[in-house]
């Protein structure tokens, strides 16, 4: 039997700048208020190895991220630092490790229907300059590819969120042990998922 959609899970990391900007509560409340369920949470300072492995769990990540960054430049009529996506990503990975190991992060698992897509929608696009208004990255960050490049650093966008269901499951295994994950019910799930809505009226 296939799993109910409400069991979909995604990994979210509040990056070191999110912690420094005192956005932990705000970010958690954004995912909580839409109806997702927090099933695991911890604060830690990641090692360089953890970050490098995290970003390369998906063998396609280097190519996809390089292409997306190049498009970010060309869409604005700017010249990308290189036309080779893999060269672009090699630089990104280096600065990303520095960024993500600079201080504590909060790693979380959020569960619910379409968890991956819903969290990406609320989080917003990678480059805060062009992330939609109303998204977390769009509302709380003003960074851009051109500024992060000029300063030789990673884009500071306060959050990591898994990009696909497969990526999410791999990343969850990378960050959490099975016994750190809480399987439990919250009462709001009755209203969100129960097909009958029995028991409201007295």
Is 135 near ligand ADP (CB under 6 A)?
A: no
Instruction: Answer yes or no: 4 catalytic.
Output: no
What's the rounded Cα separation, in Å, for the pair 64 and 71? Answer: 11
Choosing from 4, 114, 160, 174, which is the catalytic residue? 160
DSSP code for 49: H
Is 160 near ligand ADP (CB under 6 A)?
A: yes
Is 16 near Mg ion (CB under 5 A)?
A: no
Q: Which stretch binds ligand ADP (CB under 6 A): 17-25, 37-45, 152-160, 178-186?
A: 152-160
Exposure string over 149-181, b if 16+ CB within 10 A, otherwise e: beeeebbbbbbbbbbeeebbbbbbeebbeeeee
Q: Which of 154, 158, 168, 172 binds ligand ADP (CB under 6 A)?
A: 154
What's the rounded Cα separation, in Å, for the pair 38 and 79? Answer: 41
- CB-wise, 10 or 148, nearer to ligand ADP? 148
CB atoms within 10 A of CB 129: 17
Binding partner selected for residue 131 from ligand ADP, Mg ion, none, CB under the kind-specific 5 to 8 Å limit = none
Is 62 near ligand ADP (CB under 6 A)?
A: no
């Amino acid at each position: 039997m296939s799993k109910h959609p409400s069991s979909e899970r995604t990994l979210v990391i509040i990056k070191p700048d999110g912690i420094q900007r005192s956005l932990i509560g705000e970010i958690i409340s954004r995912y909580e208020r839409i109806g997702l369920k927090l099933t695991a949470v911890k604060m830690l300072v990641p090692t360089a190895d953890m970050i490098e492995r995290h970003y390369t769990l998906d063998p396609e990540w280097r190519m996809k991220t390089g292409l997306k960054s190049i498009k970010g430049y060309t869409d604005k009529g700017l010249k990308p630092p290189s036309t080779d996506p893999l060269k672009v990503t090699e630089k990104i990975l280096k600065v990303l490790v520095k960024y993500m190991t600079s201080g504590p992060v909060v790693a979380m698992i959020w569960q619910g229907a379409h968890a991956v897509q819903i969290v990406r929608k609320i989080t917003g696009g990678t480059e805060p300059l062009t992330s939609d208004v109303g998204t977390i990255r769009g509302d709380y960050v003003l960074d851009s590819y051109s500024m992060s490049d000029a300063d030789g650093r990673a884009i500071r966008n306060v959050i990591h969120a898994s990009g696909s269901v497969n990526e999410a499951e791999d990343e969850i295994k990378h960050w959490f042990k099975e016994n750190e994950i809480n399987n439990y019910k919250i009462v709001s799930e009755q209203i969100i998922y129960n097909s009958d809505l029995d028991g409201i009226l007295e």
